[in-house]
Amino acid sequence: MKKLIRISLLLLLAAFMLTGCVSKYKKIKLSSFELESVVPSSLRSANVVVAVGIDNPAPSFEVRDIEATVKQNGNVMGLVTCEPVNVDGKCNRVYRIPMQAQLAEGVGLMQLLATYKGFNPEEFTIDLHARANVAGKIGKDIDYKDVPLTKFMKK
């Protein structure tokens, strides 16, 4: 009987500890976002590096399966992917994240150059999918649809 009570108390204590950790994950914030470089790798793709500031009061975690679709006025312009990113726990740090960008089918180099010349960030939105994993196993899918590009640029 004593063993059952001990196990029940330990399970209750573990549940309270996990609840505290979950609330800390909800407090994670992007503190900055900056496009560092864009280097063309072919006529339809480029290597991109962004600096993302993350204020993480929670334990460390990994973000993987990162894919973003960039749209201009609802038309898909390209796809951006990157390798997994390990976010350190309980710190505010800037991460340099290398990405690969590829133009969508039907989008030509001349159209991209015309967009660059008359760049208006209010015309662009991003659909983002990623998976955040804690301890390699426990995870949550992150999905955002039609997030304005200006939301990232104001940081």
pTM, to two decimals:
0.74
Token pair in block for residue 15: 């549940």
- pLDDT for 82 equals 94
- Residue 42 · residue 91 · CB < 8 Å: no
Alpha helices in the chain (DSSP H): 2-25, 109-117, 149-153
- pLDDT for 23 equals 62
- pLDDT for 108 equals 80
- Residue 131 · residue 142 · CB < 8 Å: yes
Name beta bridge partners: 45. Answer: 102
Token pair in block for residue 54: 């993350």
Residue 85's region, left for phi above 0, alpha for psi from -120 to 50, else beta, is beta
For domain 28-153, say whether CATH 2.60.40 is its number.
Answer: yes
- Residue 123 · residue 74 · CB < 8 Å: no
Report which of 57, 48, 60, 73 is spatially closest to residue 125, judged by C-alpha positions: 73
Binned average pLDDT, 10 residues per bin, the chain of 155 residues: 48 45 71 86 89 89 92 92 92 94 87 76 91 81 89 64
- pLDDT for 7 equals 53
- Residue 78 · residue 104 · CB < 8 Å: yes
- Spatial separation of the C-alpha atoms in residues 81 and 66, rounded to whole Å: 6
